[in-house]
């Protein structure tokens, strides 16, 4: 997989309270492309971060219905991936500023 495709598969890391608890058991969450498969996600994480991935679980997140100034709208659907790493491996996300 070429370098440009890797950055299209992995959109962003998800850093929340729930994913912080999952980090204790070597699980990391990412926002990924809706069309990405588990094999695509696994190869992208392994090549970008230099780690060994044991498992990938994916969830399709439905976009929420919202209103703006009385006009009904909808947020986009997106996909979340939980990636389990091998024992003793971690991913360090850069600290802002």
Instruction: Answer whether residue 91 is part of any domain.
Output: no
Closest to 81 measured CA to CA, from 3, 5, 19: 19
- Specify if 9 maps to a domain: yes
Is residue 94 in some structural domain? Answer: no
Enclosing domain of residue 9? 3-85
53 in a domain, yes or no?
yes
> What pLDDT, in 10s, does the model give residues 47-85?
999 999 999 999 999 999 999 999 999 999 999 999 999
User: 10-26: b or e for each residue (b if 16 or more CB lie within 10 Å)?
Assistant: bbeebeeeebeebeeeb
Number of domains in the chain: 1
Mean pLDDT, the chain, rounded, equals 90
The angle subtended at Cα 81 by Cα 80 and Cα 86, nearest 5°, is 160
**Domain membership flag for residue 72:** yes
In this structure, what CATH number is given to the domain that contains residue 64? 3.30.70.330
What's residue 53's pLDDT?
Answer: 96
């Amino acid at each position: 997989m070429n370098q440009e495709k890797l950055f299209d598969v992995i959109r962003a890391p998800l850093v929340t309270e729930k994913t912080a608890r999952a980090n204790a058991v070597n699980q990391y969450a990412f926002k990924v492309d809706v069309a990405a498969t588990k094999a695509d996600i696994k190869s992208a994480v392994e090549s970008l971060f230099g780690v060994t991935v044991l498992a990938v679980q994916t969830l399709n997140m439905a976009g929420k219905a919202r209103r703006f100034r009385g006009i009904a709208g909808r947020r986009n659907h997106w996909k979340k991936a939980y990636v389990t790493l091998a024992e003793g491996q971690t991913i360090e996300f850069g600290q802002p500023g």
